[in-house]
Each structure stands twice: as C-alpha cells, then as structure tokens.
Structure 1
Amino acid sequence: MKKNILIIGGSYGIGLFIVQSLEKDFHIYVASRTKGELNRLNVTHILFDAATDNLNLNLLPEQIHGFVYMPGSIELKPFKRIGLETFKADMEINFFNLVKVVKDIISRMADNSSMVFFSSVAAGSGMPFHTSIAASKGAIEGFTRSLAAEYAPKIRVNVIAPSIVDTPLASKLLNNDKKQENMSNRHPLKRIGNPQDIGNTALFLLSDKSSWITGQVIAVDGGISTLKTN
C-alpha cells in the first residue's frame, strides 16, 4: 500500500524536487498557492495559502505518513532598518503558520510517521543582517525539539537548516554573477546550494532509513556553520 505524503508549498524549488522524487512511490498531496509545474505530475493539488487559509481536511487522507512544510521568507537588512512589523511578518510565515497547519493534521499522523521542517543556518550561527529571519527560524528549532519529545515514538520530527540555496525565494541575493561568486566563496565547499542538496536530505528524513533520528537540526550548508577555511 502506498503511503501518503503531505507537502505544504511544493510547486517550485526544493518542494518541487521532493514531489518529483516521491510521486511514483507515494500518494502525494501538495497544498500551495499555485500549481506551478505540478500539472505534469501525478499528485493531488489543494489550493492553499498558509497565511490566510485553513487547510481543508476533507481533501486529505485519514492517515498521513510524511509531512513537509516549505513556506518561508528571507528578509536581510540591518537591525536598525527592520521594523517590528517585519519581525511579526517573518514569525507569521515561518513559525505561526507552521504551528497552525501542524495543529490541523497532527491527529492524522500515522505511527512511525515523519515531519520535516526548515530552519536556516542563521538560527545557529550569528550572521549580520539576519536578526528577523534568525529569530523566526530559531522558534522552529525549539518547537521541533519539543514536538519530537512529546510525540515520540509515534512521530519523528526533524528540521533542516540550509545556507543559501538557488531557488526563486533567494533570487534577489543571487541575481548576478558577482553575487553568486561572492556567496559561493563564503562556503568551504565553494558553491551555493541547489534544491537537490536540500531535497535529498528531506527525502532521507521522510524515509525509514532515518527511523532512529528525531528532534534534530540537520545543517546542509556547504560547511559554513562549522568550518573556517579562509
């Protein structure tokens, strides 16, 4: 019997890679604002905006074996230029909307199921101009550990903490060759991430191959959080 995977925001970037990798072997439900390239894939699409909508549970299966929450934001500015409203907005999209969806589906998570969330390298490593994003992503990391403890052994809950990845969300930071070169050189592995780098880690965490891993923050960041090579 095929298992059911629910992905919030899987129509482009990392989410799309995950969907493409899973669609042949699982029943995939994607809840997102747009279909994007999903028209060509064998998935059930649910029109959904995490910021404004409540998830329609009638469109979901009774048991969910894997859950991935993709929506996020990148707001990089000096602290003195970031208003309180930006902090609130980042907390909403990165954390509170995640909590809202988890509350809706937690009772449907099957035994030995897996949840995968996303943080940022900035939550664990102090970086200038990241105060707002680091605060909201740090909330996800604390939430992950507590949720994993509360629902063990039934549900595994882990979080991936990437550095910058070449996706539409990061397009403003990578919109010319010079920016891409500078970003690449900041990382010990001398390149920026791609959707496959992050998506493959999510696939591992969704699979039984990670059945003894829960409550973890897994850095997939080209070594930038732990290595200094310059």
Structure 2
Amino acid sequence: MQGKNILIVGGNSGIGYALANQLQAQGATLFTAGRHAPEGIQSTHMVWDVQQASAADALTQLPEALHGLIYCPGSINLKPFHRLTIDDYRSDLEINVLGAVGAIHAAYLALKLAKGSSVVLFSTVAAKLGMGLHSSVSVAKSAVEGLTKSLAAEFAPINIRVNAIAPSLTDTPLAKNLLSSDDKRDSANKRHPLNRIGKPDDIASMAAYLLSDQASWITGQIISVDGGMGSIK
C-alpha cells in the first residue's frame, strides 16, 4: 500500500479502526472521515456525520488522486417488524446506503484520476439469509449489494473496482448490546460453524486485500466473511 491514498469513512472504531491500523502499517497515506478522528492514526481527518451533512460539504480535503475508498458506517437495528417504523427504515438507508452514495459521489473524480482504484462497501450475512428481526438492516444492506454490482459494471471501463464484504456478527462497539453478557457471547459463538464470532481484524484483512493491487481482477463481488454462517451448518 506504499504510496496509495486511501479514504476510510468511519475509521475511529471497530472494523474501520482495525483497517486504519493495518493500512498505516503497510505505508498507505490515509484520509479519514467521521464524527471523531481515529486515535493513534496519522491521517488527514474530515469531520462528517453522514446523517447531518452532505459528503460534498464534508469531504473537502481529498487528494487529487484517490486509490481506495472504504465506507464503514453501519447500523444494527433489530426489532420485530411491527415495532419498526418508516423512520427506522429511512435511518438505516441513510446510514448504510445514501452515505455511501454521497461518499462515492464526492470522491469520484479522485478515484478516476488514480487510474486504478478500489471501492469497498459493507453488506451483512442477513442480506443472504432470512433472519428474524433483521428486516430494516437487511433492506438497507441488500441495497448496498445492488449498488455494488451496478457501480462495478458502470465503473469497470475506467478501472474503478467496487466490491462489498458481508460479515456476520463481529465484536465491535456497534454489536455491544448483542454481546453484553457471557451467555449472549457464548450463544453467538455457537451459531457460527467456526464456533466464534468475528474479530475486527478478520474483516479488515479482507478489506485491505480488496484495496490492494493483489485484488486487481476482482470487482462486482459480495464476499462473505462470516465464519461459515452463510454457507454451511
């Protein structure tokens, strides 16, 4: 990653923070965006709350050429369908989909000028498997998958690759309510064929690979990193 300019949206915790650490160690030049700058990461930081401001207004310090963009913000809004409101669905779409669209819009010219760049988005195993209580996040992440494939087709002639990673439950601050006791954590581990939930570095390592030149022939893919949950029992 030496000499590569990479934008991480949502790099101050969880998977985004793990990725920032990996890319920094690999020599990338980092640009970050989010409500808070990531601690211990050397980056050009742009303050952006994806639900409060437009990407065009926030992402004003991008380099002329951008080799990678990863959009990490997400949500875990698990409720029975009858308790979910239209505003819940709207919020999940804003965070997961429209924020990504805005970031890609703002970075498009810089990604194009890199003459070989990579965009990485995030889906979820719940977009592949029918999982109760997940209808809002499943709708939003399914839209992310559609966006990934459509943009991959549209951007292929200008050598911008677009892929998405679909994790299962990962030990991040976003999932703290689902892992708030030893019993919950043990149950979550046992639901996965590999008998554990994900770690941020598990997912970040795949993202780093997709951003690298080693993945230069991969685009339009939804890649499951889920401990086997989406494929085997």
Distance 1:220 1:3 in 2: 25
Matched, 1:211 2:213: no
- How high is the TM-score relative to the length of structure 2? 0.94
Provide the residue aligned with 1:47 in structure 2.
47
- Judge which range, 20-29 or 198-207, deviates more: 20-29
Q: Give the C-alpha shift of residue 76 in structure 1.
A: 0.7
Q: Give the secondary structure class of the aligned counterpart of 1:41.
A: coil
Provide the residue aligned with 2:130 in structure 1.
126
Structure 1: runs of 5+ lacking an equivalent: none
Provide the residue aligned with 2:188 in structure 1.
183
Matched, 1:222 2:227: yes
Distance 2:7 2:61 in 1: 11
Q: Give the C-alpha shift of residue 41 in structure 1.
A: 2.4
Report matched runs for 1:84-103 at 5 Å: 84-103=86-105
Report matched runs for 1:54-133 at 5 Å: 54-55=54-55, 56-109=58-111, 110-133=114-137
**Cα offsets for 1:15-68 (capped at 9, x unmatched):** 11111111241110011101242xx22211111111112334441101100000
CA RMSD of the aligned region, Å?
1.2
Provide the residue aligned with 2:177 in structure 1.
172
Q: Give the C-alpha shift of residue 112 in structure 1.
A: 1.3
Change in Cα spacing, 1:134 to 1:57, as seen in structure 2 (3 Å) is closer
Distance 1:129 1:6 in 2: 32
Q: Is the CA contact (8 Å cut-off) linking 2:192 and 2:229 kept in structure 1?
A: yes
Structure 2: runs of 5+ lacking an equivalent: none
Q: Give the secondary structure class of the aligned counterpart of 1:125.
A: coil
**Cα offsets for 1:67-109 (capped at 9, x unmatched):** 0000110011111111111111111111111111111111210
Out of 132, 137, 142, the position equivalent to 1:138 is 142
Change in Cα spacing, 1:181 to 1:213, as seen in structure 2 (3 Å) is same
- Judge which range, 139-148 or 51-60, deviates more: 51-60
Provide the residue aligned with 1:149 in structure 2.
153
- How high is the TM-score relative to the length of structure 1? 0.95
Runs of at least 4 residues of structure 1 off by over 6 A? none
Matched, 1:193 2:194: no
Provide the residue aligned with 1:19 in structure 2.
20
**Cα offsets for 1:171-205 (capped at 9, x unmatched):** 00001100000011000000000001100000000
Question: Percent identity, aligned pairs only?
Answer: 47
